[in-house]
Amino acid sequence: MRTIHLSEELEQIEFAKRAAKCFQENAKFRSYTDGGEIQPGGLLALRWGLGDDCVLVLKLDEAHVPVNYQQLVKVAT
């Protein structure tokens, strides 16, 4: 079982949305952070998936379970 505070989950979802917006606006970007350099405990997003439309969220924390938000990046057609 995974136990998490709702506020932490919402923070991660909002981070994933910011990363998706950044990836949508910058097709060459493959990674995203809020503050530039990655800090222990900070979130890191990677563009992911066969269609480059997913956002994989990682956290530099041994207890964090990576989450892949599928089809979050809107791809221009």
* Average pLDDT of span 67-75: 86
Percent of the chain with pLDDT over 90: 49
pLDDT at residue 76 greater than cutoff 80: no
28 confidence band (pLDDT: 50, 70, 90): very high
Confidence (pTM): 0.82
The pLDDT of residue 77 is 44
What would the pLDDT profile of 41-57 be if each residue is shown by its tens digit? 899 999 999 888 999 99
21-27, Cβ contacts within 8 angstroms, sequence gap of 24 or more: 23/47, 23/52, 23/55, 23/73, 24/73, 24/74, 24/75, 24/76
